[in-house]
Chains A and B, each alone.
Chain A
Amino acid sequence: MTDVETRLKALMLASLEGDAAAYRTLLAALAPHLRAFFRRRLRGTDDAEDLVQETMIAIHAKRASYDPALPFTAWLHAIARYKLIDHLRRSRVRRTLPLEDASAVFAESDADAAAARRDVEALLARLPERRRALVRDVKIEGLSTAEAAAKSGMSESAVKVGVHRALKALAAMIGERPGP
């Protein structure tokens, strides 16, 4: 850690005297550190690289604010942290700001899903018991044909045919139902 501090601080002081090569070396050395710093704190977002660049621009614009009497790493960390906090604050605002109609609150509802489930149950109740069990296993529970076959003691092709016929029967029932 102190080695890093000594090396980076020497580069920073040379950069402040106008040494462009030292400055390039410094920024290139900082990039992986900053990238890791932001990635670890912004899991699952693509913003880390943007923040690396924003922080570099801030380092550039505010480099005269560095006081050589203080550690360079503390200065760098404070800037990176500030940029991170600023980013989180801004993105939180963005997330609560999308404009939408007041009715958007009512567009989705648990009640629709519950009603659909009741309709399906009513239709299934009209199927013969064996076929009802097949549809439930394969189409609702998500079992594979092989698993359903093992569970019911039927052959796989019999399961396939059974499910197919059951779905056809259900489709016919829906067709004969009066519209809402």
Chain B
Amino acid sequence: MKTEALIERLSEQAPPARPGLAPRVVAASLAAGGAVSFALMLVWLGLRPDLSEAAATSAYWMKFFYTLLFAASAGWTLTRLAQPGAPALRQSLLEIAPFAALAAWSAMRLVNAPEEARMPLLMGASHQVCPWRIAALSLPILAALLLGLRRLAPTRPTLAGLAAGLTAGAAGAFVYAFHCDESAAPFVALWYTLGIAAVGALGALLGRHLLRW
């Protein structure tokens, strides 16, 4: 077909479109995937029984803040990567901030703890299941984000997949914190982050193949 003919055809079928689609799609995908993930957590793992008492401790909020800030900064980077021509590199540095803060706090806790208490602080009682459960709870969110991204225009599919994976991982970790009764910062810094990173790697791998357009 001649390019002139293509222009004619395209301009004949151009209904109004609301610009700035990326933030709306990412938010909607996060909400939908997050709801499925939360329901999955309730059915599969259940809320921690001491939720109301734990809510009075700072350790409880540390987990929520860490995962929430992580999800928010990764989600913000994701919306940038989903729009062609939007600078995304500076935003992505934001993602390091929550982890850096938690890592510093954890290091202080470990240094100040007596030697025999250090390993329990790091390993907790559930390190064998924690990253896996976070990854499992993240999957519905990752699926929703990848589906949403296909409506957008990520010009760097692998990076966009990585950002989607980190966003989903952090959101899944946020959901998991409703069940998990670990309270030590070093445990969260290591095992939560490991679960989030695994979902990030999966997202990068999937994005490379699924986000072409």
Q: Which of B17-25, B38-46, B48-56, B171-179 contacts A (4 or more CB under 8 A)?
A: B17-25
Q: Chain B residues near A165: list those with CB within 8 A.
A: none
A130: interface (CB < 8 Å) = no
A101: interface (CB < 8 Å) = no
Contact B10 A77 (CB under 8 A): no
Q: Chain A residues near B83: list those with CB within 8 A.
A: 65-67, 70, 75
A152: interface (CB < 8 Å) = no
For B116-147 the 0/1 string (1 means CB < 8 A from A) is: 00000000000000000000000000000000
Describe B's contact surface by its main secondary structure: loop
Question: B interface, how many residues as a size bin?
Answer: 20 to 34
Output the least CB separation between B191 and chain A (Å): 36
- Across the A-B interface, how many residue pairs have beta carbons closer than 8 Å? 98
Given A65-B84, A75-B85, A81-B155, A20 and B21 contact (CB-CB distance below 8 Å): no
Question: How distant is the Cα of A77 from the Cα of B16 in the complex, in angstroms?
Answer: 23
Contact A65 B152 (CB under 8 A): yes
A145: interface (CB < 8 Å) = no
A62: interface (CB < 8 Å) = yes
B153: interface (CB < 8 Å) = yes
Question: How distant is the Cα of A63 from the Cα of B18 in the complex, in angstroms?
Answer: 9
Given A70-B86, A86-B212, A56 and B153 contact (CB-CB distance below 8 Å): no
Residue with the highest number of chain A CB atoms closer than 10 Å, among B3, B22, B84, B153? B84
Q: Chain B residues near A64: list those with CB within 8 A.
A: 17-21
Output the least CB separation between A44 and chain B (Å): 20
Contact B10 A67 (CB under 8 A): no
Q: Which of A21-29, A109-117, A156-164, A167-175 contacts B (4 or more CB under 8 A)?
A: A21-29
Q: Which of A10-18, A91-99, A118-126, A134-142 contacts B (4 or more CB under 8 A)?
A: A10-18
Output the least CB separation between A119 and chain B (Å): 54
Q: Chain B residues near A81: list those with CB within 8 A.
A: 155
B111: interface (CB < 8 Å) = no
Q: Chain A residues near B213: list those with CB within 8 A.
A: 58, 61-62
A127: interface (CB < 8 Å) = no
* A-B contact sample (14 more), CB < 8 A, given A58-B153, A65-B83, A67-B22: A16-B17, A23-B10, A23-B14, A56-B7, A57-B10, A64-B18, A66-B83, A67-B83, A74-B84, A74-B86, A75-B83, A76-B84, A76-B85, A82-B155
Chain A positions within 8 Å of B, measured between CB atoms, are 13, 15-18, 20-21, 23-24, 27-28, 31, 49, 52-53, 56-58, 60-71, 73-79, 81-82, 86
Chain B positions within 8 Å of A, measured between CB atoms, are 1, 3-4, 6-8, 10-12, 14-22, 82-86, 152-153, 155, 212-213
